[in-house]
Amino acid sequence: AQSVTQPDIHITVSEGASLELRCNYSYGATPYLFWYVQSPGQGLQLLLKYFSGDTLVQGIKGFEAEFKRSQSSFNLRKPSVHWSDAAEYFCAVGDGNQFYFGTGTSLTVIP
């Protein structure tokens, strides 16, 4: 079975600072890659996805992610974090049959 690792359980950044959330996956072929955000008390919302083509993908809310096949990674970045970005972030992989989620990274933003 595929697996998704988000090595950072919790990250704290200052408002205005840059952000990178890490995601590594285990899958033999090129997977379908997703980042979702979960605000407190809400369901998950798609930030961005990668299927093929340009390895740098842009998403909503100013987020971007880069697919690196050699590192089996799909890290999420934002150049300047806003207080409203405080949330739980999930990386997910699809293999054409199922989806697999990472354990999530909780982001705290300090003023």
Partner 1 sequence: DTAVSQTPKYLVTQMGNDKSIKCEQNLGHDTMYWYKQDSKKFLKIMFSYNNKELIINETVPNRFSPKSPDKAHLNLHINSLELGDSAVYFCASTRTPGVGEQYFGPGTRLTVT
Contact (Cβ atoms closer than 8 angstroms) between residue 4 and residue 89: no
* CA-based nearest residue to 23, from 90, 71, 74, 77: 74
Closest CA to 76 of 52, 92, 100: 92
CB of 97 to partner 1, least distance (A): 4
Burial of residue 71, with CB atoms counted within 10 A of its CB: 0-12 exposed, 13-18 middle, 19 or more buried: exposed
Question: Which of residues 81 and 104 has its CB atom nearest to partner 1 in the complex?
Answer: 104
Name which of residues 16 to 45 contact partner 1 (CB under 8 A). Answer: 32, 34, 36, 38, 41-45
Residues 44-63 that bind partner 1 (CB under 8 A): 44-46, 49, 51
In whole angstroms, how close is the CB of 16 to partner 1 at the nearest point?
26
Q: Which residues bind partner 1 (CB under 8 A)?
A: 32, 34, 36, 38, 41-46, 49, 51, 88, 90, 92, 94-99, 101, 103-104, 106
